[in-house]
Structure 1
Amino acid sequence: MPGELRVDEPAEGVLRLTIANPAKRGALDHAILDGIAQALDGVERRARVVVLQGADGQFSSGYDIGDIPDDVFEVEAEKLVAHPFTAALDALEACDVPTVAALTGHTIGGGLELAVTCDFRVAGDGIRLGMPPARLGLVYSHTGLRRFIDTVGVPRTRELFLRGRYVDAREAHEWALVTEVVAPDEVESAALALAGELVANAPLSLSGNKRVIRELLAAQGELTTEVEEQLIALRRACFASEDFREGVRAFGERRPADWQGR
Protein backbone atom coordinates (compact mmCIF):
# COMPACT_ATOMS: atom_id res chain seq x y z
CA MET A 1 0.00 0.00 0.00
CA PRO A 2 1.39 3.42 -0.93
CA GLY A 3 1.65 6.16 1.63
CA GLU A 4 -0.39 9.32 1.45
CA LEU A 5 0.07 13.03 2.01
CA ARG A 6 -2.72 14.49 4.09
CA VAL A 7 -3.43 18.16 3.49
CA ASP A 8 -5.43 20.41 5.80
CA GLU A 9 -5.59 23.96 7.18
CA PRO A 10 -5.42 23.78 11.01
CA ALA A 11 -5.41 27.57 11.41
CA GLU A 12 -6.03 30.61 9.26
CA GLY A 13 -3.18 31.07 6.80
CA VAL A 14 -1.52 27.74 7.69
CA LEU A 15 -1.32 24.84 5.25
CA ARG A 16 -0.35 21.56 6.94
CA LEU A 17 1.13 18.61 5.03
CA THR A 18 1.21 15.31 6.92
CA ILE A 19 3.37 12.39 5.77
CA ALA A 20 1.36 9.22 6.44
CA ASN A 21 2.98 5.86 5.76
CA PRO A 22 2.78 4.06 9.12
CA ALA A 23 3.62 0.59 7.80
CA LYS A 24 7.01 1.90 6.61
CA ARG A 25 7.84 4.42 9.34
CA GLY A 26 6.90 7.38 7.18
CA ALA A 27 8.99 6.27 4.19
CA LEU A 28 8.85 8.63 1.22
CA ASP A 29 7.28 7.07 -1.86
CA HIS A 30 6.06 8.49 -5.17
CA ALA A 31 2.59 9.33 -3.85
CA ILE A 32 3.92 11.33 -0.88
CA LEU A 33 6.65 13.13 -2.79
CA ASP A 34 4.40 14.01 -5.72
CA GLY A 35 1.82 15.18 -3.20
CA ILE A 36 4.30 17.58 -1.57
CA ALA A 37 5.28 19.11 -4.91
CA GLN A 38 1.64 19.48 -5.96
CA ALA A 39 0.51 20.95 -2.63
CA LEU A 40 3.25 23.60 -2.77
CA ASP A 41 2.48 24.67 -6.34
CA GLY A 42 1.19 28.23 -5.98
CA VAL A 43 0.90 27.85 -2.20
CA GLU A 44 1.57 31.57 -1.60
CA ARG A 45 -1.88 32.29 -3.08
CA ARG A 46 -3.69 30.37 -0.36
CA ALA A 47 -1.43 30.18 2.71
CA ARG A 48 1.04 32.29 4.68
CA VAL A 49 2.94 29.38 6.31
CA VAL A 50 3.45 25.69 5.52
CA VAL A 51 3.86 23.06 8.24
CA LEU A 52 5.28 19.66 7.27
CA GLN A 53 4.87 16.87 9.81
CA GLY A 54 4.69 13.12 10.23
CA ALA A 55 1.84 10.96 11.49
CA ASP A 56 1.47 8.26 14.14
CA GLY A 57 4.49 9.38 16.17
CA GLN A 58 6.79 9.22 13.14
CA PHE A 59 8.32 11.74 10.78
CA SER A 60 10.14 9.89 7.99
CA SER A 61 12.63 7.05 7.63
CA GLY A 62 13.71 8.33 4.20
CA TYR A 63 13.37 6.94 0.68
CA ASP A 64 11.09 3.95 0.21
CA ILE A 65 13.64 1.75 -1.59
CA GLY A 66 13.86 -1.28 0.70
CA ASP A 67 11.32 -3.43 -1.15
CA ILE A 68 12.39 -2.74 -4.74
CA PRO A 69 13.01 -6.08 -6.52
CA ASP A 70 16.59 -6.88 -7.53
CA ASP A 71 15.87 -7.03 -11.26
CA VAL A 72 14.68 -3.40 -11.40
CA PHE A 73 16.55 -2.05 -8.38
CA GLU A 74 18.99 0.26 -10.19
CA VAL A 75 16.36 1.91 -12.37
CA GLU A 76 13.61 2.23 -9.76
CA ALA A 77 15.88 3.42 -6.94
CA GLU A 78 17.37 6.16 -9.11
CA LYS A 79 13.94 7.05 -10.48
CA LEU A 80 12.52 7.60 -6.97
CA VAL A 81 15.48 9.56 -5.68
CA ALA A 82 16.19 11.56 -8.82
CA HIS A 83 12.70 12.70 -9.82
CA PRO A 84 9.90 12.95 -7.27
CA PHE A 85 12.27 13.53 -4.36
CA THR A 86 14.09 16.30 -6.20
CA ALA A 87 10.78 17.85 -7.24
CA ALA A 88 9.53 17.88 -3.63
CA LEU A 89 12.78 19.42 -2.35
CA ASP A 90 12.83 22.03 -5.10
CA ALA A 91 9.24 22.97 -4.31
CA LEU A 92 10.07 23.36 -0.61
CA GLU A 93 13.19 25.37 -1.35
CA ALA A 94 11.41 27.68 -3.79
CA CYS A 95 8.42 28.20 -1.50
CA ASP A 96 7.89 31.93 -0.93
CA VAL A 97 6.19 31.47 2.44
CA PRO A 98 7.95 30.25 5.61
CA THR A 99 8.08 26.48 6.13
CA VAL A 100 8.13 24.65 9.46
CA ALA A 101 9.02 20.96 9.89
CA ALA A 102 7.37 19.35 12.91
CA LEU A 103 9.61 16.37 13.65
CA THR A 104 7.13 14.10 15.38
CA GLY A 105 9.45 11.08 15.32
CA HIS A 106 12.79 9.77 14.07
CA THR A 107 14.00 11.74 11.05
CA ILE A 108 16.35 9.78 8.82
CA GLY A 109 17.93 10.06 5.37
CA GLY A 110 15.71 11.75 2.82
CA GLY A 111 13.33 12.63 5.64
CA LEU A 112 16.08 14.67 7.27
CA GLU A 113 16.88 16.45 4.02
CA LEU A 114 13.19 17.37 3.69
CA ALA A 115 13.36 18.82 7.20
CA VAL A 116 16.63 20.67 6.54
CA THR A 117 15.07 22.26 3.46
CA CYS A 118 12.41 23.84 5.68
CA ASP A 119 13.10 27.20 7.34
CA PHE A 120 12.43 25.95 10.89
CA ARG A 121 12.53 22.52 12.55
CA VAL A 122 10.70 21.73 15.80
CA ALA A 123 11.84 18.38 17.21
CA GLY A 124 10.42 16.11 19.87
CA ASP A 125 12.82 15.43 22.75
CA GLY A 126 14.21 11.90 22.38
CA ILE A 127 13.94 11.53 18.61
CA ARG A 128 17.00 10.59 16.56
CA LEU A 129 18.22 12.22 13.38
CA GLY A 130 20.73 10.79 10.95
CA MET A 131 21.97 10.23 7.42
CA PRO A 132 22.73 6.59 6.46
CA PRO A 133 24.37 6.93 2.98
CA ALA A 134 27.74 5.66 4.28
CA ARG A 135 25.98 2.54 5.56
CA LEU A 136 24.04 2.08 2.33
CA GLY A 137 26.77 2.63 -0.25
CA LEU A 138 24.97 5.72 -1.57
CA VAL A 139 26.71 8.73 -3.06
CA TYR A 140 24.48 11.60 -1.99
CA SER A 141 23.56 14.44 -4.35
CA HIS A 142 25.80 17.50 -4.35
CA THR A 143 22.69 19.68 -3.95
CA GLY A 144 21.69 17.71 -0.86
CA LEU A 145 25.15 17.92 0.69
CA ARG A 146 25.16 21.65 0.05
CA ARG A 147 21.93 21.99 2.03
CA PHE A 148 23.56 20.32 5.01
CA ILE A 149 26.75 22.37 4.71
CA ASP A 150 24.65 25.55 4.60
CA THR A 151 22.77 24.41 7.71
CA VAL A 152 25.35 22.81 10.00
CA GLY A 153 28.73 23.50 8.35
CA VAL A 154 31.36 21.22 6.88
CA PRO A 155 32.54 19.43 10.07
CA ARG A 156 29.03 18.39 11.10
CA THR A 157 28.19 17.37 7.54
CA ARG A 158 31.20 15.06 7.62
CA GLU A 159 29.95 13.59 10.89
CA LEU A 160 26.60 12.80 9.30
CA PHE A 161 27.72 11.59 5.88
CA LEU A 162 31.15 10.04 6.45
CA ARG A 163 30.78 8.61 9.97
CA GLY A 164 27.07 7.92 9.60
CA ARG A 165 26.42 9.61 12.96
CA TYR A 166 22.95 9.57 14.45
CA VAL A 167 22.24 12.36 16.94
CA ASP A 168 19.41 12.94 19.38
CA ALA A 169 17.26 16.05 19.30
CA ARG A 170 19.25 17.92 21.94
CA GLU A 171 22.59 17.41 20.21
CA ALA A 172 20.92 18.27 16.90
CA HIS A 173 19.82 21.55 18.49
CA GLU A 174 23.43 22.31 19.46
CA TRP A 175 24.39 21.71 15.83
CA ALA A 176 21.55 23.97 14.54
CA LEU A 177 20.18 20.89 12.80
CA VAL A 178 16.92 21.64 14.63
CA THR A 179 15.77 25.04 15.84
CA GLU A 180 13.66 24.05 18.84
CA VAL A 181 13.25 20.98 21.07
CA VAL A 182 10.01 20.36 22.95
CA ALA A 183 8.33 17.48 24.77
CA PRO A 184 7.25 14.71 22.37
CA ASP A 185 3.55 15.39 22.88
CA GLU A 186 4.00 19.12 22.24
CA VAL A 187 5.65 19.01 18.80
CA GLU A 188 2.52 19.64 16.75
CA SER A 189 1.23 22.41 19.03
CA ALA A 190 4.67 24.06 19.18
CA ALA A 191 4.94 23.97 15.38
CA LEU A 192 1.50 25.54 15.03
CA ALA A 193 2.39 28.18 17.61
CA LEU A 194 5.49 29.05 15.58
CA ALA A 195 3.37 29.10 12.43
CA GLY A 196 1.04 31.54 14.18
CA GLU A 197 3.96 33.86 14.94
CA LEU A 198 5.01 33.77 11.31
CA VAL A 199 1.49 34.40 10.00
CA ALA A 200 1.39 37.57 12.14
CA ASN A 201 4.49 38.98 10.41
CA ALA A 202 4.54 41.08 7.24
CA PRO A 203 4.13 38.74 4.23
CA LEU A 204 6.15 40.88 1.82
CA SER A 205 9.00 41.04 4.31
CA LEU A 206 8.95 37.27 4.80
CA SER A 207 8.91 36.43 1.10
CA GLY A 208 11.47 39.13 0.30
CA ASN A 209 13.90 38.06 3.00
CA LYS A 210 13.47 34.42 2.06
CA ARG A 211 14.44 35.26 -1.51
CA VAL A 212 17.49 37.27 -0.40
CA ILE A 213 18.69 34.39 1.79
CA ARG A 214 18.09 31.89 -1.02
CA GLU A 215 20.00 33.98 -3.55
CA LEU A 216 22.93 34.59 -1.19
CA LEU A 217 23.25 30.87 -0.51
CA ALA A 218 23.01 30.03 -4.21
CA ALA A 219 25.76 32.53 -5.06
CA GLN A 220 28.34 30.72 -2.93
CA GLY A 221 30.62 28.13 -4.51
CA GLU A 222 28.85 27.70 -7.85
CA LEU A 223 30.11 24.62 -9.71
CA THR A 224 31.26 24.65 -13.30
CA THR A 225 29.06 22.72 -15.71
CA GLU A 226 31.81 20.15 -16.21
CA VAL A 227 32.26 19.47 -12.49
CA GLU A 228 28.51 19.32 -11.89
CA GLU A 229 28.14 16.77 -14.69
CA GLN A 230 30.94 14.69 -13.16
CA LEU A 231 29.24 14.71 -9.74
CA ILE A 232 25.91 13.71 -11.26
CA ALA A 233 27.61 10.85 -13.11
CA LEU A 234 29.31 9.73 -9.88
CA ARG A 235 25.98 9.62 -8.08
CA ARG A 236 24.28 7.84 -10.99
CA ALA A 237 27.00 5.17 -11.00
CA CYS A 238 26.33 4.34 -7.35
CA PHE A 239 22.82 3.18 -8.20
CA ALA A 240 24.30 0.49 -10.43
CA SER A 241 26.85 -0.64 -7.84
CA GLU A 242 26.71 -3.96 -6.04
CA ASP A 243 27.56 -2.16 -2.81
CA PHE A 244 24.47 0.08 -2.92
CA ARG A 245 22.17 -2.89 -3.43
CA GLU A 246 23.91 -4.81 -0.63
CA GLY A 247 23.85 -1.77 1.64
CA VAL A 248 20.11 -1.28 1.29
CA ARG A 249 19.43 -4.97 1.95
CA ALA A 250 21.77 -5.11 4.94
CA PHE A 251 20.30 -1.93 6.38
CA GLY A 252 16.77 -3.33 6.15
CA GLU A 253 17.86 -6.66 7.63
CA ARG A 254 19.78 -4.96 10.45
CA ARG A 255 23.07 -6.75 9.71
CA PRO A 256 26.59 -5.65 8.76
CA ALA A 257 27.01 -5.10 5.05
CA ASP A 258 29.45 -7.20 3.04
CA TRP A 259 31.12 -4.43 1.01
CA GLN A 260 32.82 -5.38 -2.26
CA GLY A 261 33.98 -1.96 -3.41
CA ARG A 262 32.17 -2.28 -6.71
Structure 2
Amino acid sequence: MEPQLCHQVTDSVATVVISNPAKRNAMTAGMWRSLPPLLEGFARDPGVRALVLTGEGRTFCAGADISTLKGSSDPAQGLAAAAEEALAAFPKPTVAAVRGHCVGGGVQLAAACDLRLAEDGALFGVTPARLGIVYASSATRRLVSLVGPATAKYLLFTAELIDSGRALRTGLVDEVLPEGELDKRVAELTRTLVARSQLTQAAAKEFADGRTDRDAHWAEQARRSGDTAEGVAAFLERRTPAFTWTPPV
Protein backbone atom coordinates (compact mmCIF):
# COMPACT_ATOMS: atom_id res chain seq x y z
CA MET A 1 0.00 0.00 0.00
CA GLU A 2 1.27 3.46 -0.90
CA PRO A 3 1.94 5.82 2.02
CA GLN A 4 -1.13 8.00 2.42
CA LEU A 5 -3.46 9.86 4.73
CA CYS A 6 -6.63 7.79 4.94
CA HIS A 7 -9.77 9.59 6.05
CA GLN A 8 -13.45 9.18 6.73
CA VAL A 9 -16.32 11.05 8.38
CA THR A 10 -18.62 9.32 10.87
CA ASP A 11 -21.15 11.00 13.16
CA SER A 12 -19.77 14.48 12.42
CA VAL A 13 -16.19 13.43 13.27
CA ALA A 14 -13.51 13.36 10.58
CA THR A 15 -10.78 10.80 11.23
CA VAL A 16 -7.42 11.12 9.49
CA VAL A 17 -5.15 8.08 9.70
CA ILE A 18 -1.42 8.36 9.01
CA SER A 19 -0.74 5.22 6.99
CA ASN A 20 2.80 4.16 6.14
CA PRO A 21 3.12 0.98 8.22
CA ALA A 22 6.29 -0.22 6.50
CA LYS A 23 8.08 2.78 8.06
CA ARG A 24 6.17 3.14 11.33
CA ASN A 25 3.83 5.68 9.72
CA ALA A 26 6.61 8.11 8.82
CA MET A 27 5.36 11.07 6.80
CA THR A 28 6.53 11.25 3.18
CA ALA A 29 6.78 14.50 1.25
CA GLY A 30 3.52 13.69 -0.49
CA MET A 31 1.77 13.06 2.83
CA TRP A 32 2.97 16.37 4.26
CA ARG A 33 1.73 18.16 1.14
CA SER A 34 -1.65 16.45 1.18
CA LEU A 35 -2.57 17.39 4.73
CA PRO A 36 -3.35 21.13 4.32
CA PRO A 37 -5.83 20.69 1.43
CA LEU A 38 -7.43 17.75 3.20
CA LEU A 39 -7.94 19.88 6.31
CA GLU A 40 -9.29 22.74 4.22
CA GLY A 41 -11.98 20.46 2.84
CA PHE A 42 -13.00 19.31 6.30
CA ALA A 43 -13.00 22.90 7.56
CA ARG A 44 -15.51 23.84 4.85
CA ASP A 45 -17.71 20.80 5.44
CA PRO A 46 -20.62 21.71 7.75
CA GLY A 47 -21.06 18.01 8.47
CA VAL A 48 -17.68 17.90 10.24
CA ARG A 49 -17.63 19.24 13.79
CA ALA A 50 -14.42 17.65 15.14
CA LEU A 51 -11.34 15.90 13.81
CA VAL A 52 -9.25 13.00 15.09
CA LEU A 53 -5.68 12.39 13.93
CA THR A 54 -4.17 8.96 14.55
CA GLY A 55 -1.80 6.40 13.08
CA GLU A 56 -2.45 3.05 11.48
CA GLY A 57 -1.91 0.07 13.74
CA ARG A 58 0.26 0.35 16.82
CA THR A 59 2.24 3.47 15.91
CA PHE A 60 1.17 7.11 15.69
CA CYS A 61 3.97 8.57 13.55
CA ALA A 62 7.73 8.06 13.51
CA GLY A 63 8.32 11.51 12.03
CA ALA A 64 9.42 12.38 8.52
CA ASP A 65 10.42 9.71 6.03
CA ILE A 66 13.92 11.05 5.46
CA SER A 67 14.47 8.87 2.39
CA THR A 68 11.68 10.64 0.48
CA LEU A 69 12.40 14.11 1.80
CA LYS A 70 16.05 14.00 0.76
CA GLY A 71 15.23 14.28 -2.92
CA SER A 72 12.32 16.67 -2.50
CA SER A 73 12.46 20.11 -4.06
CA ASP A 74 10.76 21.47 -0.92
CA PRO A 75 12.76 21.79 2.29
CA ALA A 76 11.73 19.05 4.69
CA GLN A 77 11.10 21.46 7.54
CA GLY A 78 9.04 23.71 5.27
CA LEU A 79 6.70 20.87 4.38
CA ALA A 80 6.31 19.79 8.01
CA ALA A 81 5.84 23.36 9.24
CA ALA A 82 3.14 24.07 6.64
CA ALA A 83 1.25 20.93 7.61
CA GLU A 84 1.62 21.70 11.30
CA GLU A 85 0.34 25.26 10.88
CA ALA A 86 -2.62 24.07 8.80
CA LEU A 87 -3.55 21.64 11.56
CA ALA A 88 -3.15 24.25 14.30
CA ALA A 89 -5.34 26.67 12.32
CA PHE A 90 -8.12 24.14 11.74
CA PRO A 91 -11.20 25.96 13.09
CA LYS A 92 -12.85 22.97 14.79
CA PRO A 93 -11.70 20.88 17.77
CA THR A 94 -8.89 18.44 16.98
CA VAL A 95 -7.78 15.37 18.93
CA ALA A 96 -4.56 13.37 18.50
CA ALA A 97 -5.01 9.71 19.46
CA VAL A 98 -1.52 8.36 20.08
CA ARG A 99 -0.31 4.77 20.28
CA GLY A 100 3.28 3.61 20.18
CA HIS A 101 5.94 5.93 18.84
CA CYS A 102 5.19 9.62 18.38
CA VAL A 103 8.52 11.03 17.27
CA GLY A 104 9.88 14.09 15.46
CA GLY A 105 7.25 15.24 12.99
CA GLY A 106 4.77 13.06 14.81
CA VAL A 107 5.15 15.27 17.88
CA GLN A 108 4.75 18.33 15.66
CA LEU A 109 1.41 17.01 14.43
CA ALA A 110 0.21 15.92 17.86
CA ALA A 111 1.22 19.25 19.41
CA ALA A 112 -0.72 21.11 16.72
CA CYS A 113 -3.92 19.36 17.81
CA ASP A 114 -6.06 20.90 20.52
CA LEU A 115 -6.11 17.76 22.67
CA ARG A 116 -3.84 14.73 22.92
CA LEU A 117 -4.88 11.33 24.27
CA ALA A 118 -2.33 8.56 24.53
CA GLU A 119 -2.37 4.85 25.22
CA ASP A 120 -0.20 3.66 28.07
CA GLY A 121 3.16 2.63 26.62
CA ALA A 122 3.31 5.41 24.02
CA LEU A 123 6.74 6.99 23.53
CA PHE A 124 7.44 10.60 22.58
CA GLY A 125 10.59 12.19 21.23
CA VAL A 126 11.67 15.41 19.52
CA THR A 127 14.67 14.27 17.54
CA PRO A 128 16.18 16.96 15.24
CA ALA A 129 19.40 16.93 17.30
CA ARG A 130 20.03 13.39 16.05
CA LEU A 131 20.16 14.71 12.47
CA GLY A 132 21.55 18.20 12.89
CA ILE A 133 18.23 19.76 11.87
CA VAL A 134 17.11 23.15 13.15
CA TYR A 135 13.62 22.68 14.57
CA ALA A 136 11.20 25.27 13.19
CA SER A 137 10.54 28.26 15.44
CA SER A 138 6.77 27.73 15.22
CA ALA A 139 7.14 24.11 16.34
CA THR A 140 9.51 25.11 19.15
CA ARG A 141 7.14 27.79 20.45
CA ARG A 142 4.21 25.38 20.35
CA LEU A 143 6.20 22.76 22.26
CA VAL A 144 7.24 25.33 24.88
CA SER A 145 3.61 26.41 25.31
CA LEU A 146 2.65 22.82 26.12
CA VAL A 147 5.48 21.59 28.33
CA GLY A 148 7.36 24.72 29.40
CA PRO A 149 10.88 25.81 28.47
CA ALA A 150 12.78 23.35 30.68
CA THR A 151 11.11 20.21 29.33
CA ALA A 152 11.15 21.57 25.78
CA LYS A 153 14.90 22.11 26.03
CA TYR A 154 15.39 18.62 27.46
CA LEU A 155 13.49 17.07 24.57
CA LEU A 156 15.21 19.19 21.93
CA PHE A 157 18.73 19.00 23.37
CA THR A 158 18.80 15.26 24.09
CA ALA A 159 16.47 13.83 21.40
CA GLU A 160 15.64 11.13 23.94
CA LEU A 161 12.27 9.41 24.20
CA ILE A 162 9.97 9.90 27.18
CA ASP A 163 7.16 7.58 28.22
CA SER A 164 3.46 8.34 28.43
CA GLY A 165 3.62 8.94 32.18
CA ARG A 166 6.19 11.68 31.84
CA ALA A 167 4.34 13.10 28.83
CA LEU A 168 1.24 13.38 31.01
CA ARG A 169 3.09 14.99 33.92
CA THR A 170 4.72 17.59 31.68
CA GLY A 171 1.55 18.48 29.77
CA LEU A 172 2.51 16.97 26.44
CA VAL A 173 -0.62 14.81 26.61
CA ASP A 174 -3.94 15.40 28.37
CA GLU A 175 -4.91 11.83 29.22
CA VAL A 176 -3.26 8.40 29.26
CA LEU A 177 -5.55 5.41 28.78
CA PRO A 178 -4.92 1.74 29.59
CA GLU A 179 -4.15 -0.50 26.63
CA GLY A 180 -7.30 -1.21 24.67
CA GLU A 181 -9.22 1.80 26.02
CA LEU A 182 -8.01 4.58 23.73
CA ASP A 183 -10.59 4.21 20.96
CA LYS A 184 -13.45 4.08 23.44
CA ARG A 185 -12.28 7.24 25.19
CA VAL A 186 -11.71 9.10 21.92
CA ALA A 187 -15.23 8.19 20.76
CA GLU A 188 -16.64 9.38 24.08
CA LEU A 189 -14.73 12.65 23.93
CA THR A 190 -15.67 13.43 20.34
CA ARG A 191 -19.35 12.74 21.08
CA THR A 192 -19.08 15.40 23.76
CA LEU A 193 -17.29 17.82 21.44
CA VAL A 194 -19.85 17.58 18.63
CA ALA A 195 -22.70 18.14 21.11
CA ARG A 196 -21.31 21.45 22.35
CA SER A 197 -21.60 24.93 20.89
CA GLN A 198 -19.35 25.41 17.88
CA LEU A 199 -19.52 29.15 18.55
CA THR A 200 -18.00 28.73 22.01
CA GLN A 201 -15.38 26.31 20.70
CA ALA A 202 -14.30 28.52 17.78
CA ALA A 203 -13.96 31.63 19.91
CA ALA A 204 -12.19 29.78 22.72
CA LYS A 205 -9.75 28.24 20.23
CA GLU A 206 -8.81 31.65 18.85
CA PHE A 207 -8.35 33.17 22.29
CA ALA A 208 -6.41 30.22 23.69
CA ASP A 209 -4.10 30.27 20.67
CA GLY A 210 -3.21 33.90 21.34
CA ARG A 211 -5.54 35.98 19.18
CA THR A 212 -6.85 38.71 21.47
CA ASP A 213 -8.29 41.30 19.08
CA ARG A 214 -11.62 39.68 18.25
CA ASP A 215 -13.76 40.07 21.37
CA ALA A 216 -16.17 42.40 19.56
CA HIS A 217 -16.41 40.02 16.60
CA TRP A 218 -17.30 37.04 18.76
CA ALA A 219 -19.73 39.05 20.89
CA GLU A 220 -21.55 39.98 17.68
CA GLN A 221 -21.50 36.38 16.49
CA ALA A 222 -23.02 35.29 19.80
CA ARG A 223 -25.71 37.97 19.61
CA ARG A 224 -26.71 37.00 16.08
CA SER A 225 -26.54 33.25 16.54
CA GLY A 226 -29.02 32.79 19.34
CA ASP A 227 -26.82 30.05 20.79
CA THR A 228 -26.68 31.71 24.21
CA ALA A 229 -30.44 31.97 24.46
CA GLU A 230 -30.80 28.37 23.30
CA GLY A 231 -28.21 27.13 25.77
CA VAL A 232 -29.86 28.89 28.71
CA ALA A 233 -33.35 27.73 27.67
CA ALA A 234 -32.18 24.13 27.26
CA PHE A 235 -30.53 24.22 30.67
CA LEU A 236 -33.68 25.54 32.36
CA GLU A 237 -35.87 23.06 30.48
CA ARG A 238 -33.48 20.20 31.21
CA ARG A 239 -33.09 19.22 27.57
CA THR A 240 -30.25 18.90 25.10
CA PRO A 241 -29.54 22.25 23.41
CA ALA A 242 -29.89 22.56 19.65
CA PHE A 243 -27.10 24.99 18.78
CA THR A 244 -27.31 26.45 15.28
CA TRP A 245 -24.15 28.51 14.75
CA THR A 246 -21.70 27.04 12.24
CA PRO A 247 -18.34 28.38 11.10
CA PRO A 248 -18.61 30.55 7.98
CA VAL A 249 -17.50 28.74 4.82
The verdict on a shared fold, with TM-score over 0.5 as the criterion, is: yes
Is it true that 1:131 corresponds to 2:126 in the alignment?
A: yes
- Counterpart CA distance in 2 for 1:114 and 1:94 is 12
Q: 1:151 to 1:39 in 2, by over 3 A?
A: same
Matches within 5 A, 1:132-211: 132-211=127-206
Tell me what 1:4 maps to: 4
The separation in 2 between residues aligned to 1:77 and 1:189, in whole angstroms, is: 41
What secondary structure is seen at the aligned counterpart in 1 of 2:72? helix
Q: Deviations over 1:177-219 (max 9, x none)?
A: 000101232222222211111111100000011011223499x
Once the two structures are superposed, the pairs formed by residues 74-85 of structure 1 within 5 Å of their partners are 76=72, 79-83=75-79, 85=80
Would the aligned equivalents of 1:2 and 1:29 in 2 still touch at CA under 8 Å?
Answer: no
Cα RMSD, aligned residues only: 2.0
Q: Which amino acid aligns with 2:15?
A: R
Q: Does 1:39 align with 2:35?
A: no
SS in 2 for 1:112: helix
- CA shift digits 1:5-47 (9 cap, x unpaired): 111123x110000000000100011232233212210423321
Bigger shift: residues 30-39 or 154-163:
30-39
Secondary structure of the equivalent of 1:181?
A: strand
> Which structure 1 segments of 5+ residues have no match?
219-262
C-alpha contact (below 8 Å) 1:2/1:31 kept by paired residues: no
Q: Distance in 1 between matches of 2:199 and 2:41?
A: 16
Judge which range, 190-199 or 208-217, deviates more: 208-217
CA contact (8 A) 1:15 1:51 kept: yes
Q: 1:82: how far off?
A: 1.1
CA distance, structure 1, for counterparts of residue 123 and residue 73 of structure 2? 25
Aligned pairs for 1:240-255 within 5 A: none
Matched letter for residue 33 of structure 2: D
* Residue 181 to residue 77, structure 1, CA distance change in 2 (3 Å): farther
Q: Is 1:104–1:184's contact at 8 Å kept on the other side of the alignment?
A: no
Q: What SS class does the counterpart of residue 97 from structure 2 fall into?
A: strand
| Alpha carbons 1:18, 1:55 under 8 Å: kept | yes
- 1:49 corresponds in structure 2 to 50
CA contact (8 A) 2:77 2:136 kept: no
Preserved CA contact (<8 Å) 2:24 2:59? yes
Letter of the structure 2 residue corresponding to residue 120 of structure 1: L
The aligned counterpart of 2:60 is 59
Tell me how many residue pairs correspond in the alignment: 211
Shift of 1:132: 1.2
- 1:14 corresponds to which letter in structure 2? V
TM-score, reference length from structure 1: 0.75
Matched, 1:13 2:12: yes
Q: Say whether the 8 Å CA contact 2:58–2:100 is kept in structure 1.
A: yes
Matching residue of 1:255: none
The higher-RCO structure (CA 8 Å, 6+ apart) is: 1
Per-residue deviation, residues 69-118 of structure 1 (Å, max 9, x unmatched): xxxx4x638623313x2221121111110000000221000101100110
Q: Please tell me the residue identity of whatever aligns with 2:60.
A: F
Structure 2: 5+ residue runs without aligned partners? 214-249
For the residues of structure 2 that align with 1:77 and 1:56, how far apart are their CA atoms? 30
Determine the C-alpha separation between the residues in 2 that align with 1:217 and 1:162.
32
The answer to whether structure 1 residue 114 and structure 2 residue 113 are counterparts is no
Q: Distance in 2 between matches of 1:194 and 1:200?
A: 10
